[in-house]
Each structure stands twice: as C-alpha cells, then as structure tokens.
Structure 1
Amino acid sequence: MTPEPGAPAVGIRELRAGLTDAIRRASAGQRTVITTSGRPTAQLGPLDADAPDLDRLIGAGAVIPPRRATEFRAPAPVPVWAGSRIDQVLRELRG
C-alpha cells in the first residue's frame, strides 16, 4: 500500500480518540493513513464515485438481499424472574 502523498498519518489510539474528526475530514475528501506500530496499515478516505452501493452488490452476488420487505418490529418483551436460568425460560417459551 502506498499512502497518498501529504496524507496525515495517525495511530490507532489517536484515531479512536478523534474518529469523528477523521470521518468529517474523509467526507470532505481528505485521506488519512492509519498506522500500527509506526507502519502504515490502512487508509481512511472518501468513498469513490464508483464504490458499490447495495443494489450493485446484490446484482454482483456479493451480498444476499434482505428477505423481509417490511420494517423490522421487535417482539414484545418477556418478563423473567431474577435468578432464572435462561435454558429453563427458553424451554417454557418454546413449549
């Protein structure tokens, strides 16, 4: 990997501390080289114009389309007594 000339290099710790700023810079077009033990290992930058979107990935067979067409609704919560064993609760729920 050859880093882009003039791209700032940051370590992982520094990146974690300033991730929001790094993402903001990437969306503005600046690339940032991420280093591990002082060696360049990855690059954070803006998406390319030809970056695949979900439709292209599905068309290429790289991902499987979602089976559900409607919006996900979580099931109703199940009350459980404190100290209950999860295997017993699941056995009761499943019948």
Structure 2
Amino acid sequence: MNVRTLRAQLAQALRRAEGGERIVVTVGGRPVAQLGPVESDLDRSPTIEDLVARGLLIRARRDDRPEPSLVVPLWAGARLDRLLREIR
C-alpha cells in the first residue's frame, strides 16, 4: 500500500492490522515500513534471537553442544523417587 493510499484509508488499514493482517507501506514502489498487529510479550516467550537482537544476550562463541548424558522417558503420574532409583 503506498503512502497516499495509506493516508486516505488509515482507519481501514488500522482495522485490518488489528485483525491480524500485515500491510507493507511503500514509497515510490519500494517497501519502507510494515503495519501490523502488535505481538504481546505475554503471548509468547522471547526466543534467543529476540534476546540477542535486544542486546540482552550475547551468543556463545562456541557452537558445539555437549550431548545429553542420559535421556529418561517420563510418563504422567510417575513418582520422582522411582525415576531416580532407575537412573542410579
């Protein structure tokens, strides 16, 4: 949607954005902005990428991850003392 159309139809564009639609705003045919719904931080947990982008987290220099030493399947109603006994 170009800027002129956005100005003329701002209320309609805001209703569409509120409904979940993302609207790309163009200037001279080139995309320059995006209008869309606001994602609430309460709806989802931040990802590692989100935290890195905000400067709240610095990525590890090494990307090799140790393999988990032991995988224990859990089931509903399992007692912790019995699971620990199986592991030991």
Compute the TM-score of the two structures, normalised by the length of structure 2: 0.46
Q: Which has the higher contact order (CA 8 A, sep 6+)?
A: 1
Higher alpha-carbon Rg: 2
